[in-house]
């Protein structure tokens, strides 16, 4: 177990304990908007102009569902409590496909920032490795949304 020395004695207090409440709160926040994210991606899938683009967004949505499950499992294992509570976010349908792609892209990048804060608050081990994998997926999703925006711009201008 990770810890530190105080007064020459080994303390069995995790190094991350001073940040653990903040980290747990960030994990909780990360999953509470789950339903709105799913509804948003479902609407974006309906707006997609081709089946290829719909399939890309569907794969991202499915990854997000898995991330939320991982965060829920992690929170339960760390606290012994399931995540409860409902998000206070309101669901807003995308006004257009391109606007939805832009919003999704910015959401993915914001998630990377939040997940980095979670990553820094965790001790080395499986939780930290899991969050790193989620961060890498979010970056992959941002790349996919950039690709879809590129396709949309080329179609509109070409």
> Given pLDDT bands bounded at 50, 70 and 90, which one contains residue 9?
low
Strand partners, 11: 4
pLDDT for 122-142, tens place per residue? 999 999 999 999 999 999 999
CATH topology for 16-157 is Ferritin (1.20.1260)
Q: Is the pLDDT of residue 86 over 90?
A: no
Q: Which of 95, 76, 89 is nearest to 29 (CA)?
A: 89
Kindly list the domain boundaries of the chain, sorted by start residue: 16-157
C-alpha separations of 139 from 105, 116, 134 in Å:
10, 12, 9
Predicted TM-score (pTM) of the model is 0.83
């Amino acid at each position: 177990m990770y810890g530190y020395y105080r007064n020459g004695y080994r303390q069995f207090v995790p190094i991350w304990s001073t940040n653990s409440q903040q980290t747990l709160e960030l994990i909780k926040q990360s999953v509470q908007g789950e339903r709105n994210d799913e509804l948003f991606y479902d609407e974006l899938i309906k707006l997609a102009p081709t089946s290829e683009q719909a399939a890309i967004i569907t794969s991202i949505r499915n990854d997000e569902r898995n991330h939320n499950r991982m965060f829920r499992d992690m929170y339960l294992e760390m606290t012994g409590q399931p995540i409860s509570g409902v998000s206070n976010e309101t669901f807003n349908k995308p006004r257009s496909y391109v606007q939805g792609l832009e919003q999704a892209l910015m959401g993915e990048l914001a998630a990377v920032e939040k997940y980095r804060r979670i990553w820094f608050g965790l001790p080395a081990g499986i939780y930290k490795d899991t969050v790193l994998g989620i961060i890498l997926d979010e970056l992959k999703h941002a790349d996919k949304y950039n690709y879809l925006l590129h396709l949309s711009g080329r179609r509109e201008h070409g």
